[in-house]
Amino acid sequence: MSNANPPASRRRETAIFLIAALVAMYAISQFLRNSVGVIAQDLASELTLSATQIALLSSAFFFSFAAAQIPVGIAIDRYGPKRTMLATSALAVSGTLLFSLAPSPGSLIAARALMGLGCSTFLMAPLVIYARRFPPERFAALASIQFGFANIGTLAATAPLALSANAVGWRETFFGVFVLTVILTAIMIVVVPRDGRADTPRESWSDTFGGVAAALKVRSFWPVFFVHLTTYSCFATMIGLWGGPFLTDVHGADLNARGNILLVGATAQMIGLFAWGAMDPIWGSYKRAVMAGALTTALLLIILAVFPFDRSAATVWFGLFGFAVAFTPILTAHGKSLFPPQLTGRGITLMNIGSIGGAFLSQSVTGVLMDAVGRSPGGVYLPEGYRLVFAALAFWLLLSLAFYTRAVDPHPSRHASRA
């Protein structure tokens, strides 16, 4: 007699635990990818790293992550998101442990590459699980939750990481992250439902790769892809790599101070992810919103490259930058809108290659630029090097917008207005 409500209640609780577990795993990815910036100075002094090596260390995560995307997309479709995610989780666990123990620059870089491979499913697999387990009308809200709340990992890679590294050391901190990742993987085994059988016959390998080729030929793929290539890379390069050293070398910020300022930028980006997504119906256009966010981001980078800031102004700048660059949900929606249903998964994966691959390219290139400008006699990088990096990021973003102006804009409101 009292059994009518419990099943619905249990389903609700199961859904909450499932979403929380998937968000937590993606938060681990966000933490790992952005964690070099705060501790870069400590890594450089302990292991005698050049700017090029620091950049390679950070970008190795993005290179392996991007390289894995097409195989990951195929594996998710053929073998299921749970199996694929658990398989890569073992690599994330191994990479995090190796990082905490690494005795040399080479082993640090190898650890970062393992982390990237391990985290390569932590967004795509949850999105597929949401698409298969929940009604279609809930997908957008679930995707927003996945993007937004997982940014707790980005926040943790700023001031909390600085506090922990200062208190117990960066190695001990990453060993703690290793333990947490093991625990979350065990929770995933229990909480995530078993992969079911596909409703349609499995594609042949030729059809699978043919679908990738077809996605590359979709109208406006490349103009939108180029903006994916440059947008997230600006955030990852500033917050995840050079923001911390810039605050120390130019503004004399210690470990805690630079962590706190980067926290401002990461918090603003987290707020911005929700705000830009909520403003999508107001814009009524993908292109107008993306152009506004990207131009504002480029302008902020140019201002930082041209005008000398004190530390207080730099703190405000990081907040404005974090909010401006958070238009990625609208850019992601624009990318998704280009593909027919049968190509959506592969299309989104290809766009994600642009986002993560762009971070690899920008971090690698900016490391070379920093070394080209060189250091002061005191061993710190010169302000001119940082200005060159900021100007290069702005140019990189503006160049992609020149291509983006030619993209079609299939925003739903436009179809509604024509009806």
- Least confident segment among 110-119, 302-311, 326-335: 326-335
Does the pLDDT at position 7 exceed 70?
Answer: no
What's the average model confidence in pLDDT over 122-129?
86
What's the average model confidence in pLDDT over 247-272?
92
Predicted local confidence at residue 252, as pLDDT: 92
- Spatial contact of 406 and 220, defined as CB atoms under 8 Å apart: yes
pLDDT tens, position by position, 379-389: 889 999 999 99
Does the pLDDT at position 78 exceed 80?
Answer: no
Please tell me the distance from the alpha carbon of residue 81 to that of residue 76, in angstroms, as a whole number.
Answer: 5
Predicted local confidence at residue 317, as pLDDT: 97
CATH of 12-194+208-414, one of 3.50.30.50, 1.10.645.10, 3.40.470.10, 1.20.1250.20: 1.20.1250.20
> What are residue 409's phi and psi, to 5 degrees?
-125, 80
Predicted local confidence at residue 419, as pLDDT: 46
What's the average model confidence in pLDDT over 2-6?
48
Place 196 in a pLDDT band, splitting at 50, 70 and 90. low
Please tell me the distance from the alpha carbon of residue 167 to that of residue 170, in angstroms, as a whole number.
Answer: 9
What's the average model confidence in pLDDT over 115-124?
93
- Least confident segment among 132-136, 244-248, 309-313: 132-136
CB atoms within 10 A of CB 341: 6
Does the pLDDT at position 2 exceed 60?
Answer: no
Place 333 in a pLDDT band, splitting at 50, 70 and 90. confident
Does the pLDDT at position 278 exceed 90?
Answer: no
Please tell me the distance from the alpha carbon of residue 263 to that of residue 275, in angstroms, as a whole number.
Answer: 18
Predicted local confidence at residue 89, as pLDDT: 96
Predicted local confidence at residue 416, as pLDDT: 52
Pick the residue with more confidence: 8 or 246?
246
Secondary structure (DSSP) of 219-275 = TTHHHHHHHHHHHHHHHHHIIIIIHHHHHHHHH---HHHHHHHHHHHHHHHHHHHHH
